[in-house]
């Protein structure tokens, strides 16, 4: 965890794009699996953890320092994670001296329930120095905000191992953190992941306005514009993924659709909920519900 925390600290204060690329590349070359894979997931925004609420963090720090001091410090610093990292007191009882790894942190955060979140987070904060606490809290809240885009992180990975960044991008969405197969390919110990092996996302062909003043409609085909979600469903090597138009994996929001699609291939279209808001009625089989019916699924951690 110390190396990752040092990386985040350096990236926070580095403006140069080339310097950021070198910092990330050096870290990836020096860090073993699976820590570097989890680090890449964090840097690219693909680390899917149950976020710890800010109220939990505020409650923990206000149990340990004067609440007024914390609030004044927070107003001055401007960032809750940094403020808590700096104010967190030394533990009053002995703690486990074993250094935390980023893998330890990810696994523990992933297993947190609402009830045990305060105790588990406090234990990890007690075992960390200020730099590590900052990284831990950023991961726990799911918001690094250190001036590194997903593209820059992937470019750094490509630079670190002499890969084509477009080849990395092509298979990225079909791989899961901590990306063991990706790093095996990068180091020459494994085969290159390909779209034939993983259910990758392919960019959509989106609609564009016609620029011609006169249009011959016989040159075109038209279809009804449903108010749904543009999705792409991919089934490769026994695995199915569902992607949004931006390439986000939304399989977890619609597990029944992924389970029902078992035909090898890639299909894109409009995801709709059956209803009567658009196009027809349930009786004639042609109706669709409103977009709000779909929104209720998106972003939910658990689908019932």
Q: Are 103 and 34 in contact, with CB atoms under 8 Å apart?
A: yes
The string of DSSP letters for the chain reads -HHHHHHHHHHHT---HHHHHHHHHHHHHHSPTTHHHHHHHHHHT-----PPPHHHHHHHHHTTS-HHHHHHHHHHH--HHHHHHHHPPPPSS----SPPPHHHHHHHHHT--TTTHHHHHHHHHHTS-HHHHHHHHHHHHT---SS--HHHHHHHHHHHHT--HHHHHHHHTT--TT-HHHHHHHTTSSPPP-TTTS--------------SS--GGG-------SSEEEEEEEETTEEEEEETT--B-GGG-HHHHHH--SSEEEEEEE--EEEEESS-TTTT--E--HHHHHTTTT-SS--
Q: Are 200 and 234 in contact, with CB atoms under 8 Å apart?
A: yes
Mean pLDDT (10-residue bins), the chain, 304 residues:
96 95 98 97 87 90 97 95 96 88 94 89 95 95 86 96 93 91 96 86 80 82 83 92 87 91 92 75 66 79 69
To the question of pTM greater than 0.85 for the whole model, the response is no
Domain that includes residue 278, residue range: 217-295
- The answer as to whether 135 is a domain residue is no
- The answer as to whether 108 is a domain residue is no
The CATH number covering residue 259 comes to 3.30.470.30
Q: Are 223 and 231 in contact, with CB atoms under 8 Å apart?
A: no
- The answer as to whether 69 is a domain residue is no
Q: Are 155 and 25 in contact, with CB atoms under 8 Å apart?
A: no
Q: What is the pLDDT of residue 6?
A: 97
Q: What is the pLDDT of residue 144?
A: 83
Q: What is the pLDDT of residue 125?
A: 96
Query: Which H, E and C letters describe 165-208, residue by residue?
Result: HHHHHHHHCCCCCCCHHHHHHHCCCCCCCCCCCCCCCCCCCCCC
- The answer as to whether 257 is a domain residue is yes
- The answer as to whether 274 is a domain residue is yes
- The answer as to whether 240 is a domain residue is yes
Q: How far apart are CA 222 and CA 220, in angstroms?
A: 7
- The answer as to whether 89 is a domain residue is no
The domain total for the chain is 1
- Angle at which helices 102-110 and 117-126 pack, to 10 degrees? 170
Cα-atom radius of gyration of the chain, to the nearest Å?
A: 23
Q: What is the pLDDT of residue 27?
A: 98
- The answer as to whether 203 is a domain residue is no
> Among candidates 228, 219, 244, 209, which has minimal Cα distance to 287?
228
């Amino acid at each position: 965890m110390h190396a990752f925390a040092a990386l985040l600290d350096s990236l926070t204060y580095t403006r140069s794009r080339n310097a950021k690329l070198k910092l990330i590349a050096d870290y990836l070359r020096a860090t073993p699996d699976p820590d570097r894979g989890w680090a890449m997931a964090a840097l690219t925004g693909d680390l899917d953890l149950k976020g710890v609420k800010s109220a939990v963090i505020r409650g923990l720090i206000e149990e340990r320092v004067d609440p007024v001091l914390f609030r004044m410090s927070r107003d001055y610093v401007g960032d809750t994670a940094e403020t808590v990292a700096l104010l967190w007191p030394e533990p009053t009882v002995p703690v486990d001296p074993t250094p935390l790894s980023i893998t330890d942190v990810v696994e523990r955060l992933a297993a947190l329930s609402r009830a045990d979140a305060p105790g588990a987070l406090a234990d990890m904060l007690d075992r960390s120095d200020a730099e590590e606490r900052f990284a831990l809290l950023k991961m726990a809240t799911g918001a690094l905000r250190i001036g590194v885009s997903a593209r820059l992180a992937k470019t750094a990975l490509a630079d670190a191992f002499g890969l084509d960044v477009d080849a990395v991008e092509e298979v990225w969405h079909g791989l899961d953190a901590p990306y063991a197969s990706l790093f095996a390919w990068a180091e020459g110990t494994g085969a290159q992941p390909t779209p034939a092996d993983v259910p990758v996302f392919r960019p959509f062909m989106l609609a564009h306005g016609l620029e011609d003043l006169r249009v011959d409609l016989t040159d075109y085909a038209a279809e009804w514009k449903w108010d749904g979600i543009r999705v792409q469903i991919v089934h490769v090597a026994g695995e199915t993924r569902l992607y949004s138009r931006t390439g986000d994996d939304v399989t977890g929001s619609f597990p029944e659709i992924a389970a029902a699609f078992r035909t090898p291939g890639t299909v894109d279209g409009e995801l709709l909920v059956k209803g009567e808001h658009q196009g027809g009625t349930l009786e004639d089989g042609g109706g669709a519900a409103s977009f709000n019916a779909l929104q209720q699924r998106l972003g939910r951690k658990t689908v019932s």
